[in-house]
């Protein structure tokens, strides 16, 4: 499953998915690499419910700038195309799941 996202796919992803999680990262970033298996696991687990995508800040600097990503990893949660949450740094899988589940519940109401 390819979860990388580029500048061109970004708008389409937001428009076609109720809930989106973007992970801003870089290949040279140690904490980003530590988070990678968790992000991939969540992408598979939440497939069909949440679009989980990785955004390489070196290749997509305009997108990183648009969302004022100053340090990585930065996770940005979207619901209905709007930013509803943000997390910078490493976070445990349980914390990410809690946030995703809250967004899924809220979108059903």
Residue 70 to residues 38, 57, 66, 75, 84, Cα–Cα distance (Å):
22, 10, 11, 12, 18
Candidate list 5, 32, 51, 55, residue with the active-site label: 32
Q: Has 32 been annotated as catalytic?
A: yes
Both tokens assigned to 18: 């109720």
Q: Is 29 a catalytic residue?
A: yes
Q: Write out 61-99 in H/E/C secondary structure.
A: HHHHHHCCCCCCCEEEEEECCEEEEEEECCCCHHHHHHH
Of 19, 20, 22, 29, the active-site residue reads: 29
Q: Which residues are catalytic?
A: 29, 32
């Amino acid at each position: 499953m390819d979860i990388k996202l580029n500048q061109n796919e970004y708008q389409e992803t937001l428009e076609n998915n109720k809930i989106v999680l973007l992970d801003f990262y870089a290949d040279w970033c140690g904490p980003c690499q530590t988070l990678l298996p968790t992000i991939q696991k969540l992408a598979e687990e939440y497939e069909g419910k949440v679009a989980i995508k990785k955004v390489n800040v070196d290749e997509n600097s305009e997108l990183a700038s648009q969302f004022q990503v100053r340090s990585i990893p930065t996770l940005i949660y979207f619901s209905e195309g709007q930013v509803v949450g943000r997390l910078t740094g490493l976070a445990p899988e349980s914390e990410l799941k809690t946030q995703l589940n809250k967004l899924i519940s809220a979108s059903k109401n």
